[in-house]
């Protein structure tokens, strides 16, 4: 079984067994019919994925690698906040009449800041430091910008990446690790979607900075299973997982801004049946 399946099954069992229910609490999200969307939640879940061993994609059901990569590139590379620049429709409910999700995600990544070396946005700052100052402990992004929260249609969930480079004994190349900080996680709809996105990002940054991939540590403050997802989760984690597929990233690309979703592929991706029409809490 793949390591990602193992971690996912353990996390779901932990939430279902040891989590607390939000039923009766004053909750913001609701189902499209207006009913409050309650959850079973666990505070402070930490999952570690060793990207040098396996690509952390679920085999229990298919995760849409190309759509997930496209959304990550929408934020980190195209730095857009408009759904017209995104191939999937996962953000449609949060966009205004012009397609904007407000000053969230890609908008924040595109904001230039003054540094000693000049004006840069957060993505270029990360790439600059990984290339020029890889052992710095200050390589991180943060898109949870309080002054702009009132202009975001949904507050950022996966809001910060901290990059950390290690020099392993006997290896010429440096190793790139990262921590993804997430304040809120819809386990069925988006846990593996988010893990895959940031695993792809670490692979891409490592390649353009001539490094090996190391660990991705996913820190989740509120890991929850929505009430209408509980049965689907129970069925999903009772399935028999498959071995992890092999991840391929186009080795020709050496500039982060040249990657497209066609530059990522999986070999031997065997999965369980897809769960169709997962309801999404709004
Ligand atoms: N309640 C909630 N859960 C979320 O996961 C979520 C939000 N809201 N709000 C904004 C974004 C949108 N995200 C989403 C929404 C839907 C899917 C989803 O339905 N994924 C499909 C595949 C979609 C495709 O193939 O393009 C899936 O089967 O997982 C994924 C991420 C994550 N976010
Ligand atoms: O990348 C994402 C974006 C959103 N989510 C989920 C997490 C929550 O279920 C909702 C957001 O609701 P809040 O009340 O703002 O926490 O969206 C996700 O898992 N991953």
* Res 99: pLDDT: 97
Strands annotated E in the chain:
20-21, 39-50, 113-115, 118-120, 140-142, 158-166, 175-186, 212-226, 246-249, 264-267
227 is in an annotated binding site: no
Q: Which CATH superfamily is domain 3-64+135-141+156-267 in?
A: Thymidylate synthase/dCMP hydroxymethylase domain (3.30.572.10)
Among the atoms of ligand 2, which is closest to the Cα of residue 185? 19
Query: Contact, 80 vs 98, CB < 8 A?
Result: no
Q: Where are the domains of the chain?
A: 3-64+135-141+156-267
For the segment 11-32, the average pLDDT, to the nearest whole number, is 97
How far is ligand 2, taken at its centre, from the CA of residue 222, in Å? 10
Taking the CA of residue 157 as reference, the ligand 1 atom at the shortest distance is 33
Q: State pTM to two decimals.
A: 0.98
Active site residue 209: no
Out of 157, 178, 233, 280, pick the active-site residue.
Answer: 157
pLDDT tens-digit readout, 76-134: 999 999 999 999 999 999 999 999 999 999 999 999 999 999 999 999 999 999 999 99
Binned at pLDDT 50, 70 and 90, residue 35 comes out as very high
Quickly state the pLDDT bin for 249 (edges 50, 70, 90).
very high
Question: Is 186 known as a binding-site position?
Answer: yes
Q: Find the mean pLDDT for residues 252-268.
A: 98
pLDDT digits (tens, 9 = 90+) for 204-226: 999 999 999 999 999 999 999 99
**Which ligand number lies closest to the CA of residue 157?**
2
């Amino acid at each position: 079984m793949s390591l990602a399946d193992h971690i996912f099954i353990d996390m779901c069992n932990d939430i279902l067994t040891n989590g607390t229910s939000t039923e009766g609490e004053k909750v913001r999200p609701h189902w499209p019919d207006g009913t409050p969307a309650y959850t079973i939640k666990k505070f402070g879940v930490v999952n570690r994925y060793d990207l040098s061993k396996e690509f952390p994609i679920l085999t229990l059901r298919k995760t849409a690698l190309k759509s997930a990569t496209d959304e990550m590139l929408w934020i980190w590379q195209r730095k857009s906040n408009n759904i017209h620049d995104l191939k999937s429709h996962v953000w449609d409910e949060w966009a205004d009449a012009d397609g904007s999700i407000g000053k969230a995600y890609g908008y924040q990544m595109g904001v230039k800041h003054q540094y000693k070396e000049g004006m840069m946005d957060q993505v270029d700052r990360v790439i600059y430091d990984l290339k020029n100052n890889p052992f710095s402990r200050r390589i991180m992004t943060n898109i949870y910008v309080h002054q702009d929260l009132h202009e975001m249609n949904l507050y950022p969930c996966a809001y910060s990446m901290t990059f950390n480079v290690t020099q392993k004994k006997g290896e010429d190349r440096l190793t790139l690790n990262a921590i993804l900080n997430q304040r809120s996680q819809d386990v069925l709809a988006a846990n593996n979607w988010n893990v895959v996105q940031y695993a792809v990002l670490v692979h891409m940054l490592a390649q353009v900075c001539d490094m090996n991939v190391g660990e991705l540590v996913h820190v989740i403050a509120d890991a929850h299973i929505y009430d209408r997802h509980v049965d689907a989760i129970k069925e999903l984690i009772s399935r028999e997982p498959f071995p992890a597929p092999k991840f391929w990233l186009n080795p020709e690309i050496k500039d982060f801004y040249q990657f497209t979703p066609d530059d990522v592929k999986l070999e031997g991706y065997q999965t369980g049946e897809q769960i169709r029409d997962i309801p999404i809490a709004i």
